[in-house]
Amino acid sequence: MSEHPIDVARHRRVLERAAELSGWRSRKENGRALGIAVHSSFLTYVAVVIVVTQVSAGLRADEAWIVADAGTTVNIERVRSQLEGAVVFGLSHALFGEITMKDGATVQSNFRDFRLLRIGQVPRAIRVDVIESDGPSGGVGEPGVPPVAPALTNAVFALTGMRVRTLPVVKTVAVA
Question: Which domains, ranges and CATH numbers included, belong to the chain?
Answer: 8-161 (3.30.365.10)
Structure confidence at residue 116 as a pLDDT band (50, 70, 90)? confident
Q: What's this model's pTM, rounded to 2 decimal places?
A: 0.91
**Mean pLDDT calculated for residue range 46-64:** 93
Please state, in angstroms and rounded to a whole number, the distance separating the CA atoms of residues 8 and 13.
8
Torsions phi, psi of 101, nearest 5?
Answer: -115, 145
Q: Is the pLDDT of residue 77 over 80?
A: yes
Q: How far apart are CA 121 and CA 127, in angstroms?
A: 16
